[in-house]
Amino acid sequence: MAIHTILKMGNPLLREKASEFSKEEILHEDTNELLVDMWETLDFAGGIGLAAPQIGVSKQLAVIKLSEDSDRYPDMETTDPYVIFNPKITVLDKELQGFWEGCLSVPGLRGYVERPRKVKIDYLDEKAVERTIEVEDFLATVFQHELDHLIGMLYVDRMEDVSTLMFEDEMVLQEVSEEEILD
């Protein structure tokens, strides 16, 4: 298993629409190895989500794990780890909520992004079983952020006001609430 290099904004692969997995591909040993690599890469990078295109694999797969023992997010509630293949998103609440988002593929920068407050995701899990989950608030933003990678979008594409894009150290100087920051 291996820790992968995370592609950065500007790499054309990050702008491609990723292809779906077949159920057979999901169950293949190579995909299991990819999942192990993604979890190791995510842990090493200190993030809370990672999509396959971020490590150079243009396939519809993302992993998400929020942990209360995170150095970056000490007040965050722990969730189950999520493995998401071939997701379909449905907006359940059009009310928007905003967070300062960051991204492992856009290192050192943060931007203010508003997204729907509650969404439903239909997807396949690591056993190729159909699942549905409804998420809201911060977790809804995390899911939408990660799944954007599967359609070739970055959080900077969702920003209404690009003047809010700033370096993380500048945010500290401006005392932006750490609770509003997403990575």
Q: Does the residue 6 lie in any domain?
A: no
Expressed as residue numbers, the domain containing 95 is: 12-182
CA distance 80 to 121: 15
> Is 1 within the bounds of a domain?
no
Q: Report how far residue 90's alpha carbon sits from residue 58's, in angstroms, rounded to the nearest whole number.
A: 22
Structure tokens at 85: 């293949």
- Whether 169 is in a domain gets the answer yes
Residue 164 lies in a domain: yes
| Average pLDDT taken over every residue of the chain | 92
Distance of CA 160 to the CA centre of its chain: 19
Contact 3, 37 (CB under 8 A): yes
Is 5 inside any structural domain?
no
**What's the total number of domains in the chain?**
1
Per-residue pLDDT tens digits for 134-164: 999 999 999 999 999 999 999 999 999 999 8
Residue 162 falls inside a structural domain: yes
Asked if the structure places residue 29 within a domain, the reply is yes
**Token pair of 143, please?**
């899911």
Residue found under tokens 């970056």: 72
Whole-prediction pTM value?
A: 0.90
For 47-80, how does the pLDDT look when each residue is reduced to its tens digit (9 = 90+)? 999 999 999 999 999 999 987 665 555 566 778 8
What residues are labeled active site?
A: 146
Is 4 inside a domain boundary?
no
- The residue among 176 and 20 whose pLDDT is bigger is 20
CATH of the domain at 103: 3.90.45.10
- Cα–Cα distance measured from residue 137 to residue 122, given in angstroms and rounded to the nearest whole number: 18
